[in-house]
A and B are shown apart, each in its own frame.
Chain A
């Protein structure tokens, strides 16, 4: 059994979501399939009462605060206290593998979350994972950080290597592993939750962009708005024949749609497919001339053609 904690709400930085935005965010997070949703105490007090308390992890400043929330089953706190509530997981920062021996001070803890270890992929990470599991007897949640762009990879390797739990954030907010990348990688590598769909991702993306007042990259894996655009002849041809040739999963799985973009690298088949999108008969057009004009126009503009520009151009070469 693998466990994913979605700590997005704890990674919003300076953003100040309204109560309505927080409510909506929580509702959408519940739809992703994450096992636990982590939130700061202040957000919980805004949202309370919450129907799905069994899925909550509340972030506390000190373990002693847990007594105020008898309805909650899990907490996270950075400061361990002797004899602390068994519901509290202690979060420990380990910056690199040389600090692993420090974990011996925490062997008595039944629940630990390890954060950091950003550059572990450059070293013998499998041995380090093994050492961590030997040192800590309780449940260990791994929360790799992303300063070397390897957080998702480390989370996946931890789970593939027998680790039980990871903590991640949507879009990798706050420099964590990206929830959506971990979920799709688990599906492809471990056939994990193969019946789940992730159609909620675009709504989460839009809401978080609104809350953070910042746009995610169009090429962001899984959730980027441009990742299912196809232009080059070789790939359009392949995708039209059989999508799995050039896509690791169907766009619909993550609530997205494929789009053919016409530009310098488009081939005849892309032009024909684009015409068919508007129920236009390809035989009525001189495809070779369209293609030459597309390439010339793309170079002149140093950009691909918009749909409107393409169809205007195509009309010039109607037979």
Chain B
């Protein structure tokens, strides 16, 4: 039997961040329905902090879905989480910078601040009985010791999964394998792999991340996303379906891609 890998489709969140691309609520709901019917494990639906239209869309998606789990993306801010709670998603995803360049230069904070604020956000979500996943932003340029410490803390609090994000797309396949392996070995926590395609290696990095044990795989339709985009859904399924049980055949993934491409006018 082939090992199972779960697809987390982020077309409607990270994909929509492609500059110039806007998805209407109708488009998002139609695309989500197709992803749901295709057996995608999780649909990252959007960012409630963007505004009321996004909140209404995610709420409608929750009412509409049959099987897929719906998640809402949040920055490391309680006010973001409060807006997400109002959508009643299955999963609250909290993204936290973990590399020094993001912590010290962008946030102008330090590691203690990250731990304190992440703990507060996670506790806020868990107290409200949400399943919580945490995204390690810029993980590929981060200190592994800090990530392991953070992952252990999150695991002990009850966070179900961490997302390893190669935010600037600089990993090599062997680097992706090693990083995921180290995190899983040191913490035992479930890992989700999120690749960007800046060096044209998003699919390959995701494959080696999966080989290292990442059980959850982030994709977008046609690989849309910031800069050179993300791991392409169909390309990943096409490459991986012979080795992993992804819950979908290559042909069906192709049909899904065609339908959503048409809906979103990609």
In the assembled complex, A163 has its CB within 8 A of some CB on chain B: no
Within 8 A of A (CB), among B137-151: 138
CB pair B19 A301 closer than 8 Å: no
Q: Report how far A237 CA is from B211 CA in the complex, Å.
A: 35
CB pair A299 B53 closer than 8 Å: yes
Given contacts A154-B204, A235-B226, contact A302 B101 (CB under 8 A): no
How many pairs of A and B residues are in contact by the CB < 8 Å rule?
159
Task: Determine the residue in chain B with the shortest Cβ distance to A249.
Answer: B198
In the assembled complex, A105 has its CB within 8 A of some CB on chain B: no
Chain B residues with CB under 8 Å of chain A are 16-24, 27, 50-51, 53, 75, 101-102, 105-106, 138, 167-170, 172-175, 197-201, 203-205, 207-208, 211, 223-224, 226-229, 232, 235, 238-240, 242-243, 265
Task: Determine the residue in chain B with the shortest Cβ distance to A172.
Answer: B200
Q: Report how far A122 CA is from B168 CA in the complex, Å.
A: 23
Task: Determine the residue in chain A with the shortest Cβ distance to B238.
Answer: A148
In the assembled complex, A219 has its CB within 8 A of some CB on chain B: yes
In the assembled complex, A69 has its CB within 8 A of some CB on chain B: no
CB pair A221 B21 closer than 8 Å: no
CB pair B197 A229 closer than 8 Å: no
Q: Nearest 10 pairs between A and B by C-beta?
A: A153-B204, A304-B20, A181-B200, A229-B19, A231-B19, A148-B239, A261-B19, A221-B228, A150-B204, A221-B200
Task: Determine the residue in chain A with the shortest Cβ distance to B211.
Answer: A122
Interface residues on A, range: 35 or more
Question: Which residues of chain B have C-beta atoms less than 8 A from A304's C-beta?
Answer: 19-22
Question: Which residues of chain B have C-beta atoms less than 8 A from A235's C-beta?
Answer: 17, 226
Stretch of A25-33, A53-61, A79-87, A240-248 that contacts chain B: A240-248
CB pair A242 B101 closer than 8 Å: yes
Task: Determine the residue in chain A with the shortest Cβ distance to B17.
Answer: A232
In the assembled complex, A227 has its CB within 8 A of some CB on chain B: yes
Task: Determine the residue in chain B with the shortest Cβ distance to A297.
Answer: B22
Q: Chain A 235-265, CB within 8 Å of chain B: the 1/0 string?
A: 1011001101111100000000000010111
Q: Report how far A309 CA is from B169 CA in the complex, Å.
A: 32
Q: Chain A 121-161, CB within 8 Å of chain B: the 1/0 string?
A: 11000100000000000000000000011101110110010
Q: Report how far A176 CA is from B53 CA in the complex, Å.
A: 43
Question: Which residues of chain A have C-beta atoms less than 8 A from B211's C-beta?
Answer: 122
CB pair B174 A185 closer than 8 Å: no
In the assembled complex, A170 has its CB within 8 A of some CB on chain B: no
Task: Determine the residue in chain A with the shortest Cβ distance to B173.
Answer: A153
Q: Report how far A232 CA is from B208 CA in the complex, Å.
A: 29
Chain B min CB distance to A121 (Å): 5
Question: Which residues of chain B have C-beta atoms less than 8 A from A149's C-beta?
Answer: 203-204, 232, 235, 238-239
Chain A min CB distance to B13 (Å): 10
Q: Which of B101, B174, B238 contacts A160 (CB 8 A)?
A: B174
Q: Report how far A264 CA is from B240 CA in the complex, Å.
A: 34
Within 8 A of B (CB), among A210-234: 219-222, 224, 226-232, 234
